[in-house]
Each structure stands twice: as structure tokens, then as C-alpha cells.
Structure 1
Amino acid sequence: MAAEEQREYDPHDYPPVAATVDIVALTIRGDVPHVLLVRRGEAPYRNSWALPGGFVRPDEDLATAALRELSEETHLTVAPHLEQLGTYGTPDRDPRMRVISVAHLAIAAGLPEPKSGSDAADAQWVPLSRLGFGDGAETLPLAFDHAVILADAVERARAKLEYTPIATSFLPPEFTIAQLRAIYESLWNEPLHAANFHRKVRSVSGFVIDTGHIAPSGRDKGGRRARLYRAGEATLLHPALLRPSITSTTA
């Protein structure tokens, strides 16, 4: 901005608006999808559960702010899959002032036990089934509009399982096809035919690569020990692995 334009601009002529980031951090714990929640230690919504997040600092870009907030709660040492989910700016979403939040979806395997940050009373990995995603599940209320953000994130993750290899982000570097199938089943909340799933996965070029290694004994129930795979180079799955509920309603 030129010096003359700076002199003509007065920020006080405009109402104050704050920018925040909220993070939906998903991981698999014991074959069950979990999301990271914090119990707020300050007003508004003191003692309510919420997604981790906070105000963007003046010297941060959005991705840096999201990673910082996530790191403060999980002390993570691995870089997760991180992508922008959407922007949420309903005028009354925050009772303090006009706050526009850019929500992010983070996915990683083996994320550590959370440790609450300075403004949180507690932090926990909470099964998605406790938040209305599953059969006959209770619904834990969330602060602000975080229930809407979480629902959008879960649907984004479910959809991306169909046409991207994002499921491998939930797994260790080497995994079995059965472990991969468990990711799909847990997030889609639907059982999948094992043999059909194995055939479909192997038919997608670049989805998974056979490492030539065999899983340790006892990892799979009965039969031969399973082969181990790693994520391939594909960024899109062709053909896509469609959800059974989607294909059955469109058939």
C-alpha cells in the first residue's frame, strides 16, 4: 500500500473482526475413530467441550496457526495431514465479538495423549460415537458452532475415503489390507466384504504398494499371516471406492 493510501485509510472506520482457527483432529484408537476435544477453561462456554483452536496471531498464516494450536494440545511430533475444511462466519457464532473461523481437518496415526493448553481445563480423545456418529449414540454438546464444523469434517473425511488415499494417513507406515479395511468400516460405520475390498484396493493403481514383508504372527485371526503394504504414489483413486450406502441408494 502506497504511503498516500495509508494516510487515507483509518482502520477505526470499520467494525473489529477477529480471525481464528478451529481444528478437527481425527485419529483411530483401538479401531475406533476419535476426535480431539478440549474442555474450555475460560468464558465463554466455560467447562463446555469444544474443538481445539484459537486466535490467529498477527505474524501467522492460517496453516501455521492451526498447527500451533494442535501442537499445544497434543504435543505431536509428526506432521499430520492438514487441510482447510471451510470458513464459518455466522455473526452470532461467538458472543464476544464478530469472529470468523477457518476450520481445518487434521488426520494422523498414533497421535499422543493430549495435554490441555493454558486456556483449557482438560483435553481428551473422544470417540465419534459419543458425538452422534454411530448407532444409538449419545450426543455430547459442543460449544459455539463446533457441532456443525465437526459434522462437516466427518463428512469430508468419509467422502475423501472414496476418491483419495487419505485412509492411509490413519495407519502406520506399513499396514495390512485388513487394517486398511477397518479404517473404512469405522469411518463409514458400515461392514465391508473382506475379499471384495481386497480386490478393489489392489485394482487401484498406486493406492498401496506391497512391501514384501509379512505381518507378525498373531496380528490377524487365524489363517496365513497377512502381507504388509505401504501408501503408494496415487493422489486420486481410480476407480473410486464408493460407500455401500451411496451405491445402494443410487442403483
Structure 2
Amino acid sequence: MKDSKTFAVLATDVAVLTIDGGVLKVLLTEARSKNFTGMLTLPGGLVGHKERTQEAAIRILKETMTKTDYYNEQLYTFDDPGRDPEGRVVTVAYMMLVPGDEAKRIIRKDASWQAVKTLPKLAYDHNEVVNVAMKRLMGKLTYTNIVYALMPLEFTLSDLQKTYETALELTLDKRNFIKKIKSLNLVHKTTHKVEGSAHRPATLYKFGERKYTRVDLF
């Protein structure tokens, strides 16, 4: 039998995304490896012998966040032989989406939300992981209802439009956007309104079902 040290070990990393204050952000922590001293990294770590990669991802995130039952999906397998200076490590990356109003649920002292557009060079290949997560999010926003995972329970249609515009990096026509959203029957009016505004109080909406499905949006 070959020496086990010649084989790769399995890890997982998670690109946790949110839109906070009109800015798309990703959750980062300080790298613990001496090879990346002073650099930031995505939450991640090794997968246990009896764990599935998703189970390991959630376990690791529980060290960083007070809540982890947000939408998540497997993103991609990153297996460049030189991605980790300490050895042959293959990582299965995940993407998680967190509503902006819950972005403060972080408990790890070295964790912080950083704007995706102005990220510094991250440890390992984590800039690439974030880029892949961004492309996945942007793609799925055009043909699914995945935007619900970034929204609070109740929101205005303007808030919903701004979320799409921020994530997709484009400007949408307000009238056409509202017409399309209403035609899909994705959201429903609540009896609540935004108070404290100088203008007429805006009606709050909610998703009829916060469950992933395909829609013909754009």
C-alpha cells in the first residue's frame, strides 16, 4: 500500500454572502495558517472522517455565526495541487446567503463582513471562490426566486429591486420590474406599511413561499 501521506485531504470553505446597506458583502475571518499571516480567509476547515462536506461546513460556521440554517448550496470543488502550501488539500466550497437584517449574527471576534468589490488578496484561492460564488448568485437571480434568501421577512418592492440591482450590478426600470414581480405571483402584500417616512408609507410585502424554485424573471 502506498504511503497515505501521498494522498490529498478534504476540506470545505464557505462563501457567506449578504447585502447590507446596499453593498454586497462576504463573511471573512483572519487566516490561522502561518503561511498567510495577516490575511483574510473564508470560514473553512478540514472535513471529519465521518462527516459529509455540508455537515462540516455547517459545523465550522457554528463557530462563527449564531444561526446557520440559511439557504446554502454546494458551489465547486477546488483542487489545484498548489492551493495550500502546507500540503495537498482539496476543498469543496459552498455558498450561503444571509438576509441583510441578520448580518450581525456573528460571534467569532475576528470575523467581519467585507465588500466584495473591494476585497484584498485573500488566503489560499479564496478570491477565486468568492468570484465563483458571485457568478453563481448572479446567474441564479435571473431564473430562480433565490433572492428570497437575501431578503428580510417583510420588505418594500423598492427594497427588492435594490437587492436585485446590487447583486446583478445593473439598473432596472421600476415600472417594468414591479409589473414582472407581480405577474409571477412571488410576493404578496401584507397589512403592514413602512412608518416614519416623509412620503406616503410604502406597503410591505412578503414571499408567498420561502422555498427555492425556478422562475422566468429576466
TM over 0.5: yes
1:162 aligned partner, one-letter code: T
2:205 aligned partner, one-letter code: L
Q: Give identity over the alignment, percent.
A: 29
**Within 5 Å, which residues of 2 pair with 1:75-94?**
76-94=66-84
- Given the alignment, which residue of 73, 88, 111 partners 2:103? 111
Equivalent position of 1:235 in the other structure: 213
Shift of residue 113, structure 1, vs aligned partner: 4.7
Cα distance in 2 for partners of 1:114, 1:226 equals 30
- Higher RCO, Cα 8 Å, sep 6+: 2
Cα distance in 1 for partners of 2:34, 2:208 equals 43
Shift of residue 18, structure 1, vs aligned partner: 0.6
Equivalent position of 2:138 in the other structure: 158
Contact 1:113 1:124 (C-alpha < 8 Å) held by counterparts = no
SS in 2 for 1:72: coil
| 1:62 aligns to 2:50 (yes or no) | no
| 1:171 aligns to 2:151 (yes or no) | yes
* Deviations 1:1-39, CA, capped at 9 Å, x for gaps: xxxxxxxxx463672211000100001211221100111
Equivalent position of 1:248 in the other structure: none
Equivalent position of 1:24 in the other structure: 15
Normalised TM-score (structure 2): 0.90
Count of aligned pairs between the two proteins: 215
Shift of residue 151, structure 1, vs aligned partner: 0.4
**Within 5 Å, which residues of 2 pair with 1:1-251?**
10=1, 12=3, 15-74=6-65, 76-109=66-99, 110-116=102-108, 122-131=110-119, 140-205=120-185, 207-208=186-187, 210-218=188-196, 222-232=199-209, 235-237=213-215, 239-241=216-218
1:114 aligned partner, one-letter code: I
Contact 2:146 2:212 (C-alpha < 8 Å) held by counterparts = no
1:12 aligned partner, one-letter code: D
* Deviations 1:98-134, CA, capped at 9 Å, x for gaps: 11000000002113253337xxxx2210011212xxx
**Aligned Cα RMSD in Å?**
2.0
1:112 aligned partner, one-letter code: K
Q: Runs of 5+ in structure 1 lacking a partner?
A: 1-9, 132-139, 242-251
Cα distance in 1 for partners of 2:212, 2:46 equals 35
SS in 2 for 1:66: helix
Cα distance in 1 for partners of 2:126, 2:212 equals 32
SS in 2 for 1:93: coil
Q: Runs of 5+ in structure 2 lacking a partner?
A: none
Contact 2:19 2:150 (C-alpha < 8 Å) held by counterparts = yes
